[in-house]
Chain A
Amino acid sequence: MGFHLLSPSYCCGYQASPPISHGLLRFRPVTGIPKPSPQKGQLHQSRRASKVLAYYGLTTPPYKLDALEPYMSQRTLELHWGKHHRDYVDSLNKQLVKSPLYGHTMEELIKVTYNNGNPLPEFNNAAQVWNHDFFWESMQSGGGKLPQGGVLQQIEKDFDSYSNFRDTFVESAMALFGSGWVWLVLRTEEKKLSVVRTSNAICPLVWGDIPIIGLDMWEHAYYLDYKDDREKYINTFMDNLVSWHAATVRMLRAEAFVNLGEPKIPVA
């Protein structure tokens, strides 16, 4: 199996006893963090297999983990996808064992657990699973440069110019306090593109908007490669990583739901 958890899982110390519900903090004192040993690990895994049914799976990024070098290192991808993203999936599945919320698509689950601003305990994990899926697909090897065709047209229409949009995006990311995400979204009501930043796990789906590009601004996304230099990370994302191809596909799909009006075809 891919990655051995060499340390207790992200949120709760792993105990081979009745699963601790994520939202409650009725914590039983742990007399010592269990040291990983091959037999014990296997015992945990087999117990886990019999108790937890997987409702959602971990999707893999559409490229090899070293494909984004040197802009995003393989080490970062290994940790970010292999540990953080995987932990969100595992934690969500563990929560769903005890919860009546199953049978939803991921997007539906996010809207339901967001609960109009009073998020249920499953929201954080569900949203982060979706956010990270979206994030991997928002990047590509040889990315960056300029958007093309319809996306470029729409950006120029809604931001006046690509460089205006880029500045807005970078500024918004720099102004984020704490952990969160920056998005290029298509606002379904205003029917235009907009830059939006969200805290922690929140994503524009909860407001019914359609994300086109997402950038992870949690420190774990860039700390190994850029330390505290957020500006460099954001600029590198815009110049070398962002997948305008993915953005184009998403815009095409979005136009099925949002009427963006007639294209401005110049009259001779």
Chain B
Amino acid sequence: MALRAIAGKKTLTLGLVLGPRAAAGASAPRTGSGLRHARGLVTFSLPDLPYDYGALEPAISGEIMKLHHQKHHQTYITNFNKALEQLEEAMAKGDSSKVAHLQSAIKFNGGGHINHSIFWKNLKPLNEGGGEPPHSTLGWAIDTDFGSLDALVQKMNAEGAALQGSGWVWLALDKEMKKLKVETTANQDPLVTKGANLVPLLGIDVWEHAYYLQYKNARPEYLKNIWKIMNWKYASEVYEKEIA
């Protein structure tokens, strides 16, 4: 479900448009994407940022945003597509050990794509409402489950700072228990690996590439500043949709 949401209409229609043309060239030597679209497999592509690279300054520098988006996220997508292509081949051949072997690459690169796609939507420039605290339902839920917005922020910052190595810190909604939680995931593991009922509302990337050029080793500073550009509106929308 999440994957379809991220692929978006653009790639799906692209897939459909290329379909008939690819079918015509099906007899040609395997060219990868064309043939895949004939079979209906979607390839993923880099989503545009809803703001300029420099729009999140001074919380996150334009240099970091550009590298993060154009290099890191793009690499995850490229490798994800590659892994999926290899998976398809392995499944067609019935090569079960290859199928199992590819799972870690799929989890890592697919997770990277999922997580970063959410991340870009979690951020908003200051002059477009970034940092404005949540109101109504999400605001009340935060007060109920954490005591106050401040307490939530402190908890997330603490867990983010304490995370060893690379990973993410999340504000999650447990849609079954109807409760908010703070979770961390390692490397690019998507939030669902911590619980099938967890829906990500906000995620903070604490991989060093997310802040190093600007904050160097001062991860707590980065965590403190990122709240100034947090897009609570997006979190509220997701929350209300799940709770309904």
Which residues of chain A have a CB within 8 Å of any CB of chain B? Answer: 6-8, 10-13, 25, 27, 29-30, 33, 79, 83-84, 87, 124, 177-180, 199-201, 218-220, 223-224, 227-228
Contact = CB atoms under 8 A, between A and B. Distances in A.
Interface string B72-115: 10010000000000000000000000000000100010000000
Interface residues of B, number: 33
B185 to A, nearest CB: 11
Given A178-B207, A200-B165, 20 more contacts: A7-B220, A8-B218, A11-B162, A12-B161, A12-B162, A13-B161, A13-B220, A25-B158, A29-B151, A87-B217, A179-B165, A179-B166, A200-B164, A201-B165, A218-B208, A223-B212, A223-B213, A227-B67, A228-B72, A228-B209
Contacts of A124: 164
Contacts of A228: 67, 71-72, 75, 209
B219 A10 contact: yes
B186 interface: yes
Given A177-B108, A218-B208, A10 B217 contact: yes
B175 interface: no
A27 B155 contact: yes
A178 B188 contact: yes
A95 B177 CA distance: 37
A25 B154 CA distance: 11
B228 to A, nearest CB: 14
Interface of B: 67, 71-72, 75, 104, 108, 150-151, 154-155, 158-159, 161-162, 164-167, 186-188, 207-209, 212-213, 216-221, 224
Contacts of A25: 158-159, 162
Given A25-B159, A219-B207, A228-B75, A79 B216 contact: yes
A34 to B, nearest CB: 12
State the majority secondary structure of interface residues on B: helix
Contact of B188 (A7, A29, A177): A177
A12 B108 CA distance: 28
Contacts, number: 83
Given A83-B216, A178-B166, A179-B165, A220 B208 contact: yes
A220 B150 CA distance: 30
Nearest to B107: A177
Contacts of B151: 29
B108 to A, nearest CB: 5
A177 B187 contact: yes
Nearest to A28: B154
A224 B212 contact: yes
A223 B216 CA distance: 10
Nearest to A123: B164
Given A25-B158, A224-B212, A8 B220 contact: yes
Nearest to A128: B164
Contacts of A224: 212-213
B166 to A, nearest CB: 4
Contacts of B155: 27
Contact of A218 (B154, B165, B186, B221): B165
Nearest to B153: A29
Given A29-B150, A29-B151, A178 B216 contact: no
Closest 3 CB pairs of A and B: A178-B187, A219-B208, A179-B165
Given A220-B208, A224-B212, A27 B165 contact: no
Nearest to A218: B208
Nearest to A229: B71
30 contacts: A8-B221, A10-B161, A10-B217, A10-B219, A11-B161, A12-B158, A13-B161, A25-B159, A27-B154, A29-B154, A30-B154, A79-B217, A87-B217, A177-B104, A177-B187, A178-B165, A178-B186, A178-B207, A179-B165, A179-B166, A201-B164, A201-B165, A219-B166, A219-B207, A220-B208, A220-B217, A223-B208, A223-B213, A227-B213, A228-B75
Contacts of B159: 25
A84 B165 contact: no
B47 to A, nearest CB: 19
Contacts of B216: 79, 83
